[in-house]
Amino acid sequence: MNFLARLFHSETPVELPPAEGDPVRVAEVEALLEELRPLFRADGGDMHLVRVTPEGEVSVRLVGACGSCSLSNLTLRGAVEPLLKKRLDWFQALHAG
């Protein structure tokens, strides 16, 4: 386990609520986020899908080290958003909270 993972690692898993929205679209987004998840976890963070709106807006919450990283917005705009745009024809916008 690398330095950041040890720093932010918790023995007690945090239960986050399931994502809101159309189950098919939620599953599509979750599958794509799962492709990127190892990158986030390598530095002691993660990304949680919060909701997918009928208008095609996706909301995520960055947790662990990613939640306080000064480069998290760059990662979202440079990696997550382009992947969603490329693979999901209904996708319109990405929001982080």
In this predicted model, what pLDDT tens digit does every residue of 13-60 receive, in sequence order? 557 789 999 999 999 999 999 998 898 888 888 899 999 999 999 999
74 versus 90: which is more confidently predicted?
90
CA dist 35 and 49 (Å) reads 13
Q: How confident is the model at residue 8 (pLDDT cuts 50, 70, 90)?
A: low
Query: Are residues 95 and 60 in contact, defined by beta-carbon separation less than 8 angstroms?
Result: yes
Residue 10, pLDDT above cutoff 70: no
How many C-beta atoms surround the C-beta of residue 33 within 10 A? Answer: 20
Q: Are 46 and 10 in contact (CB under 8 A)?
A: no
pLDDT at residue 5 above 70? no
E strand map for 1-97: 45-52, 57-64, 93-96
β-sheet bridge partners, residue 93: 57
Instruction: Report the chain's mean pLDDT, rounded to a whole number.
Output: 85
CATH 3.30.300.130, applies to 3-96: yes
Two tokens, residue 37: 């998840």
